[in-house]
Structure 1
């Protein structure tokens, strides 16, 4: 989608990061509203950015964990079209989760929950590995050649 001929284009990279971050939070919001929304009285940013909601001791926490994993799978699909190169998938995935960590730091302080760290590092690994696999599959497709050649 955004892949161009220039090897180094910082504005392109920033645009890709912003698009990826926005689409990740859109998918996370969708999955949270589907899985967590019916279980709570009011949805808020707490489920996005507070480490205390990512817990394995409550059913709502498991729904938050499932939403994070589903968003990382959706993010892998987005990376295939946004980045288009398997060699860049880990970089963009790590950037997404580092920005997410900084937003969580600003929102609720340092995530002291081991569950939060395990879930987010696993989400990073799922997003990076799945997007690399999908990009390599896409890059190795045959280039379609027309059945009829022009007489040039």
Structure 2
């Protein structure tokens, strides 16, 4: 989608980061509302940015963990269409979660829960691995070239050129 020439374009990179971050949080919001929203009376930003909500000691915590992991799987699909290069998957995945870390620090302080770190490191690894696999698969696809049409067109052009020379 945003892929262009192999020139360093900071506005393109910034727009890809912003677009990927927005799509990730929209997807996380969808999964949080489906999974966690059914168990709590009021869904708030605490479930997105507070490290204490990602806990393995409650069903709601497990559902929040599942929402984060499902969002990173969807994020790999976003990287496939927005970034389109396997070499850049790790960069954009890590950038997304570093920005998420900064937002979490501003919202609730430094994440001191081991579960938060395990979930987020697993999410970045999952997003990177899946997006690289998808991008490599797309890059290695054969380019379809219709043989019959091109050979007829080539013969026609060759004959036209011979007629022109006579």
- TM-score relative to the length of structure 1: 0.98
Runs of 4+ more than 2 Å apart: none
Q: Residue 35 of structure 2 aligns with which residue?
A: 35
Report deviation, 1:6: 3.9
Segments of 5+ residues of structure 1 without an aligned counterpart are: none
Higher gyration radius (CA):
2
**Greater displacement, 6-15 / 91-100:** 6-15
Kindly indicate whether residue 65 of structure 2 is the aligned counterpart of residue 65 of structure 1: yes
Q: Which residue of 2 aligns with 1:49?
A: 49
Residues of 2 paired with 1:87 and 1:38: CA distance? Answer: 39
Q: Where in structure 2 are there 5+ consecutive unaligned residues? A: 158-166
- Residue 134 (structure 1) aligns with: 134
CA shift digits 1:52-110 (9 cap, x unpaired): 00000000000000000000000001100100000000000000000000000000000
CA distance in 2, matches of 1:145, 1:10: 35
- Distance, in Å, in 1 between the alignment partners of 2:86 and 2:68 is 22
SS in 1 for 2:38: helix
Q: Show the counterpart of 2:104.
A: 104
Q: Deviations over 1:1-48 (max 9, x none)?
A: 100014200000000000000000000000000000010000100010
Quote the residue 1:91 is aligned against: 91
Matches of 1:78 and 1:86 in 2, distance apart?
Answer: 13
- TM-score (structure 2 length as normaliser): 0.90
The number of residue pairs the alignment matches comes to 152
In structure 2, C-alpha distance between the alignment counterparts of 1:6 and 1:127, rounded to whole Å: 24
CA RMSD of aligned residues (A): 0.8
Cα distance in 2, alignment partners of residues 84 and 146 from structure 1:
25
